[in-house]
């Protein structure tokens, strides 16, 4: 990817993980509604993701977008996810096709889009290494909260913009990103842990690979897992280095 890459929500945790691994590899444009905390040589757009004109200015001329901006709280209320997550994702997808420069759109979806597969009869065994149940991205969404509904909606918006406008779309259902080590005393979090370096590598793969429309899981190669990473390996060349079991 030689063209600029627009990273929205760049000031947050996932944005930091991506930039910590890939800052020197791409010509970044960063967008966030918060101004940058640190000085950086990258172009920075302070804008709300729901402001079409401001978003279009950041998008126009970019070859790819990693879209992270939004309300990440599983308990977020409807008015917030409707505006920040659903309207915001629609807005930037529309700007992407209007610009005619964007080829790839990479969307930060979430484990909460499918959280209700974790039924009482499956848990807690589901979170343990011996359990063979896997979600692989071909299943229907089963959101565990309204935030998860907004992420499933973002995936469907991407489907529409792929089918109608030929945008390459990768939806990464991110697990639980923490820096340094997996969550402690939290089996579910350990089963869907995504390390910072695997996060940067996975989004790098999404910028490099060729694909049409994909849904993949964003977790490290944990012994405990109920999300398959086979599709991420096969289509994107994802080769994670970390495993929450190494911290037991």
Ligand X SMILES: O=C1O[C@H](COP(=O)(O)O)[C@@H](O)[C@H](O)[C@H]1O
- Tell me the catalytic residues: 147
The binding site for ligand NAI (CB under 6 A) comprises 9, 11-15, 32-34, 48-50, 68-72, 84, 88, 108, 110, 174, 176-177
> Tokens 């172009």 map to which residue?
43
Cβ distance 50 to 91 under 8 Å?
yes
Cβ distance 118 to 182 under 8 Å?
no
Task: Give 100 or 173: the residue with its C-beta nearer to ligand NAI.
Answer: 173
Cβ distance 217 to 137 under 8 Å?
yes
Residues touching ligand X, count (CB under 6 A): 8
189 binds, among ligand NAI, ligand X, none (CB under 5 to 8 A by kind): ligand X
Least Å distance between CB 168 and ligand NAI? Answer: 19
Look up residue 196 and give its two tokens: 């910072």
Region near ligand X per CB under 6 A, out of 18-26, 106-114, 118-126, 202-210: 106-114
Cβ-count burial 53-75 (b if 16+ within 10 Å, e if not): ebbbbbbeebbbbbbbbbbbeee
- Report the distance separating Cα 221 and Cα 13, nearest Å: 20
Task: Give 54 or 146: the residue with its C-beta nearer to ligand X.
Answer: 146
**Span 55-84, contacts to ligand X by CB under 6 A:** 72, 74
Residue 84 labeled ligand binder: yes
Look up residue 43 and give its two tokens: 């172009």
Helix (H, G, I), strand (E, B) or coil at 66: strand
88 binds, among ligand X, ligand NAI, none (CB under 5 to 8 A by kind): ligand NAI
14 binds, among ligand X, ligand NAI, none (CB under 5 to 8 A by kind): ligand NAI
- Contact status: 171 vs ligand X (CB under 6 A): no
Q: Which residues are annotated as a binding site?
A: 84, 110, 147, 151
């Amino acid at each position: 990817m030689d063209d600029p890459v627009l990273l929205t929500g760049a000031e947050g945790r996932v944005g930091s993980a991506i930039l910590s691994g890939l800052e020197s590899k791409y010509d970044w444009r960063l967008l966030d509604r918060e101004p940058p905390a640190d000085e950086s040589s990258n172009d920075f757009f302070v804008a709300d993701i729901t402001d079409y004109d401001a978003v279009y200015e950041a998008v126009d001329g970019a070859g790819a977008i990693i879209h992270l901006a939004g309300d990440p709280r599983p308990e977020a209320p409807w008015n917030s996810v409707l505006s920040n997550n659903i309207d915001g994702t629609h807005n930037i997808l529309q700007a992407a096709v209007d610009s005619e420069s964007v080829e790839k759109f990479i969307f930060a979806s979430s484990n909460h889009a499918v959280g209700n597969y974790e039924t009482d009869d499956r848990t807690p065994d589901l979170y343990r290494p011996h359990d063979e149940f896997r979600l692989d991205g071909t299943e229907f969404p089963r959101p565990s909260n309204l935030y998860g509904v907004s992420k499933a909606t973002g995936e469907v918006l991407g489907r529409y913009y792929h089918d109608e406008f030929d945008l390459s779309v990768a939806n990464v259902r991110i697990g639980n990103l923490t820096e340094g080590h997996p969550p402690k005393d939290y089996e579910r979090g350990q089963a869907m842990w995504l390390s910072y370096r695997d996060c940067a590598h996975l989004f790098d793969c999404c910028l490099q690979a060729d694909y049409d429309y994909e849904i993949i899981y964003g977790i490290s190669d944990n012994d405990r897992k109920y999300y398959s990473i086979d599709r991420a390996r096969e289509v994107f060349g994802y080769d994670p280095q970390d495993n929450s079991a190494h911290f037991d």
